Structure 1
């Protein structure tokens, strides 16, 4: 595997794990009814634990990949002097905080109850916001740069709410089939749907603003970066179509069609998750290209 491919894979894993962690944290800490939070947190804890440790591992591997890219390839990923040089760059200074926050997130697992979930969510959100200070999102200076980073934070948070919340929704849909937690699971999903409309709108608006800031209008060229941006837009459009189909076609049919409509909902949501993973992979490739 080339170092560039390794970097893309690590970035994909990092973004995916962090968004899954934020999505699960928001669902268990903010969306679930008070009496259901502890039980839902316990059931989603395997996803939360894997996401936390994968976030830390991928952050370390990303720093190693960046070191190799700054040096002469794989042989320099273990060179201490180059590591120190990378840590003095804009990326390195931001990434030191990312690593510290990732470690604190792991340590937060040793807390108990609601404090643990609130602390994990806080550190996950801070890591997600920190991504806005690396890569193309940190290209501009001055007030334009402040606006660009703020817009990217909105883009990342809204995307994490939407895409990161999909796996918990699949679990909640299965919970809603049984009598024990049906009302709580349905209530949690309805809250996700209500705020999900806003999240999708913010993803689209902030994404358009990002593209205009980086490429201008009309774009001066249509190279690979722009082509992948179109692909990303199409994938997000399909995800939006599935979300609308689920909410306004399948959900009203739950009472009449029963298990059939519910299974369709689960299947289409899994397809939506796969599309979200594809979007993150495209975003990983973006990081290796010049906007054009």
Structure 2
């Protein structure tokens, strides 16, 4: 039960961090203040709720981790045990950085002006970085540990941008139908396409490097539950890449000649990307709790 609660909080925290970073980054990159403010208004309530729920989930992680270590719920409110985990473990130190960052993100998303999308993106990006200091990225010491953490940081930022920007992409697509926004929305969609290519390339390369660094000591063994889940995660990610490529190279060009059908397919594929991305994040939150061997 404790492990399930811990895994659920990890999942909620991951989803929150990814949505906030990707959405804020894409709004900051749209190239049109008016377009960004219009889409932000559509997503505002969702983003604020996500910021609050994500902050609460992160704050619950340390007590739940402590209870899991103690194998007793009382560990959640045992001040001595909480202090030991927080100050004497790498996980606790990374958690403290993450807790400060998510509280900052919540403040920025609740009270900063909607026009400050760049500030929001920076704050949310900072909140993603401590993820690379815990989990399997923390297994190695010295230069291998630094390289793994750096690769994991790139992976988190790339995944956050790609997945988190998809709701904003749908907002741009919705406003593309309105004559007043058509030009700005077209430019924003092209910017998304360019940035998305970079994010996907960084995601695949850093993901391959992370998998190699985790699995190399133990070797490949598809009888391992961890490696089976990792293989499913890879397949889901590749399916997302395929959908993104179909949107970019088949349906976006078709907007000029088959607008209705193209819009329908782009929306459907983007929503499917979001669902697949949710599956990937769920697997990531679970994989971090399993031994690679």
* TM-score, length-scaled by structure 1: 0.94
CA distance, structure 2, for counterparts of residue 205 and residue 118 of structure 1: 26
CA distance, structure 2, for counterparts of residue 50 and residue 161 of structure 1: 19
In structure 2, what is the equivalent of residue 39 of structure 1? 38
How do 1:109-188 residues align onto structure 2 when only pairs under 5 Å count? 109-114=110-115, 116-188=116-188
Gaps of 5+ in 2: none
Q: Is the 8 A contact 1:70 1:86 kept in 2?
A: no
In structure 2, what is the equivalent of residue 228 of structure 1? 229
Deviation at 1:117, TM superposition (A): 2.8
Q: Is the 8 A contact 1:24 1:44 kept in 2?
A: no
Deviation at 1:73, TM superposition (A): 3.0
Deviation at 1:18, TM superposition (A): 0.5
Q: Is the 8 A contact 2:135 2:288 kept in 1?
A: yes
CA distance, structure 2, for counterparts of residue 195 and residue 47 of structure 1: 24
In structure 2, what is the equivalent of residue 247 of structure 1? 248
User: Does residue 215 of the first structure (1) align with residue 215 of the second (2)?
Assistant: yes
How do 1:60-99 residues align onto structure 2 when only pairs under 5 Å count? 60-88=59-87, 89-99=89-99
How do 1:242-281 residues align onto structure 2 when only pairs under 5 Å count? 242-281=243-282
Please, what is the CA RMSD of the aligned residues? Answer: 1.7
Q: Is the 8 A contact 2:247 2:269 kept in 1?
A: yes
CA distance, structure 1, for counterparts of residue 200 and residue 284 of structure 2: 17
In structure 2, what is the equivalent of residue 54 of structure 1? 53
Deviation at 1:47, TM superposition (A): 2.9
How many residue pairs align between the two structures? Answer: 290
Gaps of 5+ in 1: none
In structure 1, what is the equivalent of residue 201 of structure 2? 201
Deviation at 1:112, TM superposition (A): 2.6
CA distance, structure 1, for counterparts of residue 218 and residue 65 of structure 2: 32
Question: Which segment is superposed worse, 46-55 or 140-149?
Answer: 46-55
CA distance, structure 1, for counterparts of residue 218 and residue 247 of structure 2: 35
CA distance, structure 2, for counterparts of residue 166 and residue 220 of structure 1: 34
Q: Is the 8 A contact 1:17 1:52 kept in 2?
A: yes
Post-superposition CA distance 1:159-195 (Å, at most 9, x none) = 1111111111112111112222122122111101111
In structure 2, what is the equivalent of residue 106 of structure 1? 106
Give secondary structure in 1 for the equivalent of 2:221.
coil
CA distance, structure 1, for counterparts of residue 36 and residue 274 of structure 2: 23
CA distance, structure 2, for counterparts of residue 30 and residue 256 of structure 1: 27
Post-superposition CA distance 1:40-70 (Å, at most 9, x none) = 3333322321221122011012222212111
Q: Is the 8 A contact 2:25 2:117 kept in 1?
A: no
CA distance, structure 2, for counterparts of residue 183 and residue 46 of structure 1: 27
Deviation at 1:118, TM superposition (A): 2.9
CA distance, structure 1, for counterparts of residue 282 and residue 207 of structure 2: 16
Deviation at 1:113, TM superposition (A): 5.0
Q: Is the 8 A contact 1:65 1:77 kept in 2?
A: yes
